[in-house]
Chain A
Amino acid sequence: MKRNISAVALVAILLSLVLSACAVPAAAPTVDGGQEVDAQGGETTLLVWDIWTREADSQVVDQLDQEFEAANPGVKIDRVVKSFDDMKATAQLALSTPEGPDVAQINQGESDMVALVRAGLLADLTDYAAQYAWADRWDPSLVLRNSVKPDGSAYGEGSLYGMAPTAEFVGVFYNKDKFAAAGIEVPKTFAEFEAALAKLKEAGETPIAFGDLDGWPAIHTFSEAQGVFLGEEDPAYLDDFIYARGNVGFDNPANLKAAQKLVEWVDAGYFTPDFLGVAMDDAFQQFSAGDAAMFLTGSWVSGDLAAGPNADKMGFFLMPGSTEGARKPVVAGTSTAYTIRAGSEKKDLAAKYIDWMMSDRAMELFAGTGLVPVKGLPADKVAEGTLFADLIAAWDQVRSTNSIGHYLDWATPTFYNTITASLQELLGKQITPEEFIAKNQADYDAWLVEKGVKQ
């Protein structure tokens, strides 16, 4: 057994050498300081791995790093930027070595954060959360989705392991000109939303830009319809479902109604024609170019839409519930979470850094790049009538009604594959809504058994 361990260690070292060589060093101020651990004593280097790859975001983080260094003499931030996929692939090895990052951005959910907690690689942040009063900055449901039982056996309860400064949520982007031309107001109920679809179709428009070649966009489309029916029947369902508490399954009336509704929309021709062969990027281009009236996706595309040809015509609203103002879950979450490596010797400093990334100053700078701060933003800091103003308003609505839902693919390790494939089959009319429900229920059941929640 000993030989195995040394062999694994060898490969781990080789791999980490290769992989760390791939990492893109940010324009971090490592040059002027010279050596990492200063001979004069007192200088500490904090190694931070993040995934702020977008130019504007990356500049904000560099700015924040510099301000943090200025406020904390003797502290140096060594920042490494990685792509989302690269982080996913390298985090586990890096976090298990003593030279690994002190702070790393880790995706929430079963296959990343929970697996790393189970492996004992992430530090429990509960005490820091109390020290810095993070609960004041975060809604309780956001705390839960970054919480894991310390042994990794359950998600959505236990200790806090991550914090993230910006919010993401799924809703409806729309083209204001198309709405005006068809004589449509922003719908306040789901019935009005469907009436708008019919009206736009009649006017010869493509009501919803949609491309599901990549599989995942349909998850959001389904979730939008699901939220409406869950709002009617069981608003707490998604928490129970995602955290695998064993009292709910996928086979409930709301999910069936949502599946039936999507098929209805396919039959009515409300989506981009031949959407199963259309890539997400092409659907985005279609909407951005002004060739479709609506686009159901996450707030993360807002920056690209604002940089597109029809930026001033873009608006955003949350999918309305069955009655006006009805509480319904909205698929939402935070950006990837800042975590601390369990083996780090600079945990206190790392926590201070995370607190700085959650500060009002950080929120303000992130908002400047079009990202929605988790805390929201005072109205006087938002330009009226812009897409960003719609997003800020929508996030306030989500928070004030406490209706933060979940990404369905977090449910089980295999759920992403199961639901993307079965949604393509459902929308391609290969299976019935009932068969769609059964397929996903089978995946979910197997997971509950594996977790020991169910016999």
Chain B
Amino acid sequence: MSTSTAAPPRRGRPGRRRWTPFLYILPGFAIYAVFVLWPIVDTLRYSFFAWDGFTAPVFNGVQNYVDLLQDPLFHIALRNSLVFILFYSILPIVLGLILTMLLVRRRIFGLVVFRAGLFVPYILSMVVVGVVWRWIYNPSFGPLNQLLRAVGLDLLARPWLGDFTWALPAVGFVGMWVQYGFCMVLFIAGAQRIDETLYVAAKIDGAGETQQLWNITLPGLRGEISVALVTTLIAALRVFDLIFVTTRGGPGNQTTVVAMLIYDNAFVLNRAGYAAAIAVVLTLIILAISYAVLAVRMRYMSQED
């Protein structure tokens, strides 16, 4: 079909030729526009309406946003989402770095198997992960509590997902378990790219392992770390599936996150307009954080030059 539009370019006005490439992306762009761009614009529009999803939307200006700022649940969800940044982003990056140190530039028997095994959590479906961990955390027959009781740590055994203090860290830990594999693979790829002669030179100059880490490996991974940071931050802020499968936001509202609020308002409470407003705010937060990370990275890069 598209071949018909790709007639041999004639010598004509230059503008015509410049537009030809856009014709090629048109089919893909049309799908993208209908299924991604248009819904985004529409979400923004609905965020200014009171709409139950059934009857005609009624324009109510910024009322949704005003309500949102005063919604105590939104504050709780935002706080929980920030805690998730620790588990989804910071800890996986640290863990990924440690594993990279252990797995790169070392001869370990069965290294490929280790690497593949450590990456497996990341490629599992989040719903599967949630169901499995719900079982692991089961208070009576879950392996975690059984293990704790078997070694005499009965005091530590608790209904993890139903404990008001521990539910959030427990779910967060699952997030960490899923995310670190991604960071690790990213860092390993990056570390293998670092010129080996740098390490040789450093060793000749008498640098120890730690000095090599701080002065060669980490600076060499700066690009990968910022990519990992942006990706995992976004994942942290939009986490939904894991919460939905494990706790549904409970106990109380201890593990409610922003994406959960969007779901509840849009599909359970029939407040589509309000849900749209939350979605817009969440998008803005994600954009701001991503931009901040990239801005810091840009500054570093320009310093290097």
Contacts and interface: CB of A to CB of B under 8 A. Distances in A.
Interface of A: 7, 14, 89, 92, 111, 115-116, 118-119, 121, 212-215, 272-279, 282, 413-414, 416-417, 420-422, 424-425, 428, 430
A224 to B, nearest CB: 21
Contacts, number: 92
Contacts of B253: 421
A436 to B, nearest CB: 11
Q: Would you list the 6 A-B pairs with minimal beta carbon distance, nearest first?
A: A277-B159, A276-B162, A277-B162, A274-B139, A274-B159, A119-B54
B140 A215 contact: no
Given A119-B55, A278-B139, A430-B164, A215 B248 contact: yes
24 contacts: A14-B34, A92-B54, A111-B268, A118-B55, A121-B54, A212-B162, A212-B251, A213-B134, A213-B161, A213-B250, A273-B140, A275-B159, A275-B162, A276-B163, A277-B162, A277-B163, A278-B159, A417-B264, A417-B268, A421-B249, A422-B252, A424-B252, A425-B164, A430-B251
B297 interface: no
A146 to B, nearest CB: 18
A7 B164 CA distance: 45
B52 A115 contact: yes
Interface in B232-249: 247-249
Nearest to B35: A14
A310 B205 CA distance: 76
Contacts of B33: none
B300 interface: no
Contacts of B161: 213, 276-277
Contact of A278 (B55, B138, B250, B268): B138
B283 interface: no
Interface string B118-158: 00000000000000001001111000000000000000001
A344 B267 CA distance: 26
A392 to B, nearest CB: 34
Interface in B246-305: 247-253, 264, 267-271
A115 B164 contact: no
Given A213-B161, A276-B162, A428-B162, A115 B270 contact: yes
Nearest to B157: A274
B53 interface: yes
A118 B52 CA distance: 11
B160 interface: yes
Given A278-B140, A421-B253, A89 B267 contact: yes
A211 B158 CA distance: 14
B251 A424 contact: yes
